Amino acid sequence: MAIWLLGFTFSVRDIGMITTSPRGAGELRRHGTVLIPCLAGILLSATHSYSLGVMIAPLEREFGWTRSQISSGPLIIAIIGLFAAPLVGRAVDQLGPRRIGLAGILLYCAALGALSFATSDIASWALLWVILGLCNMLVIPTIWTAAVTSLFVERRSIALAITLCGASLCAAITPPLVGFLVVQNGWRGAYVGVGLIYASVIFPLAWLFLRSATDDARRGAGVAAGSVRLASWNASLRQGFASPAFIKLATGVTLYALAVCALTANAVPILVAQDFKATQAPAIAGLIGMGSLVGRLGGGYLLDRLNPHMVSAISVSTPILSVALLLAMPGSPGAAMAAFLILGLSVGTELDACAYLAARHFDLRSFGTLFGAINGFLLFANGMAPMAANIVYDMTQSYQIFLWAVIPMCSLSALLLLALGTDAAATPPIA
């Protein structure tokens, strides 16, 4: 944990150094405000995932559905994302993030609130998640990271780190917020409430501040060096998909996501299964968000100054320690808190690493499409993993088998990301 805290300390210092470095200061003056809606957009994109764990118990009580049936919702998003995310990435490359992001915020929040219309017929639940999945494609991380990578060069890693703190904030804010809304208004009111709250805050921020190099070029504004060119897009794309770097990065982060998404989405049920109270579990699960915030900023610093492939490999290995604590000391508050805090550190660093390594190894002309494809794999993992873990629970009435499975998955992921260091970094197009 010390390495993340060290990185966090220096990354906070680095944010101040942006204003003293001439080129870093110039980027901040020109583009700093874009980080605000991008951070908020990342937060929004994960809301359905971090809210579902709190909803499992009330949905079980009202409809008598199994946990695997309830978890089928994210699986639907996963299947949609596997095919649609690369198409969204291509649209981002061609149109820019602003148009897509503004529409996506409103549509996704409306679809989130529409989950309140579910009936006892499981088909209604599935249909509502199809709608949510289609709308979710318009707020996936590709949109927000594409805006940042197109504008930042000197401080790209710290800019991405700040942006991706949105996922940490979602993990910290959404479960307690949804839990409070469930207590006050029931699960239906909670879905409506969280949709309204996030739409009323995030849409105005995006309207005021969201832009990218593509948007600037369309308006005739000057674009900083390192911005994305659209020329030779098709050739860049073919080379990107065929590259060993794409294959290793996509496979490594997907394995990691399969393991970790199941842990984060089922954090509350896992804790309840270990005899924690329903009021305690969301608070402990919220430590994932706190840990990921430290991991995000600390990881951003470490990725810039140490071997990024080694940092990534270490970060994807640490959930093994979280699982070991949960398996060795079930029901221990201290062990559970440490386990989910460590898990948060890993999640925070790895999201940074994925975006950083993609920007390092992919041609930025096709970044949106290539990173969109990886986002599709991550969305698939995000939907498949919680359902798979809950199928195991329904069959065994325990999460033990799933927890053991995390160990080999994270180990293989670490090896793949470490091997990525043998691939040459892509040369960004020159503006």
Number of domains in the chain: 1
103: in domain = yes
pLDDT at 238: 66
Nearest Cα to 326, choosing from 383, 409, 269, 378? 269
| Residue 14: inside a domain | no
27 in any annotated domain: no
How much is the pTM?
A: 0.72
Output the domain CATH number for residue 194: 1.20.1250.20
In a domain, 29, yes or no: no
Show the domain range for 201: 35-209+233-422
- For the chain, list residues with pLDDT below 70: 1-26, 215-238, 240, 363-365, 421-431
HEC profile of the chain: CHHHHHHHHHHHHHHHHCCCCHHHHHHHHHHHHHHHHHHHHHHHHCHHHHHHHHHHHHHHHHHCCCHHHHCHHHHHHHHHHHHHHHHHHHHHHHHCHHHHHHHHHHHHHHHHHHHHHCCCCHHHHHHHHHHHHHHHCCCCHHHHHHHHHHHCCCCHHHHHHHHHHHHHHHHHHHHHHHHHHHHHHHHHHHHHHHHHHHHHHHHHHHHHHCCCHHHHHHCCCCCCCCCCCCCCHHHHHHHHHHCHHHHHHHHHHHHHHHHHHHHHHCHHHHHHHCCCCCCHHHHHHCHHHHHHHHHHHHHHHHHHHCCHHHHHHHHHHCHHHHHHHHHHCCCCHHHHHHHHHHHHHHHHHHHHHHHHHHHHHCCHHHHHHHHHHHHHHHHHHHHHHHHHHHHHHHHHCCCHHHHHHHHHHHHHHHHHHHHHHHCCCCCCCCC
Task: Please state, in angstroms and as integers, the Cα–Cα distance from residue 26 to each residue in 23, 161, 221, 231, 362, following that order.
Answer: 5, 19, 15, 26, 25
Q: How many CB atoms lie within 10 A of CB 387?
A: 23
Q: What is the 3-state secondary structure (H, E, C) of 208-268?
A: HHCCCHHHHHHCCCCCCCCCCCCCCHHHHHHHHHHCHHHHHHHHHHHHHHHHHHHHHHCHH
pLDDT, one tens digit per residue, over 5-29 is 434 443 444 444 444 455 555 677 7
In a domain? residue 137:
yes
CA distance 19 to 8: 18
CA-based end-to-end distance of the chain: 40
Angle at 30 between CA 25 and CA 36, to 5 degrees: 100
341 located within any domain: yes
Per-residue confidence (pLDDT) for residue 393, from 0 to 100: 82
Tokens 């805290």 sit on residue? 5
Nearest Cα residue to 407 out of 326, 345, 349: 326
Q: Tens digits of per-residue pLDDT, 367-377? A: 777 878 887 88
Check residue 421 and give its pLDDT.
66
pLDDT attached to residue 11? 44
Does any domain span residue 1? no
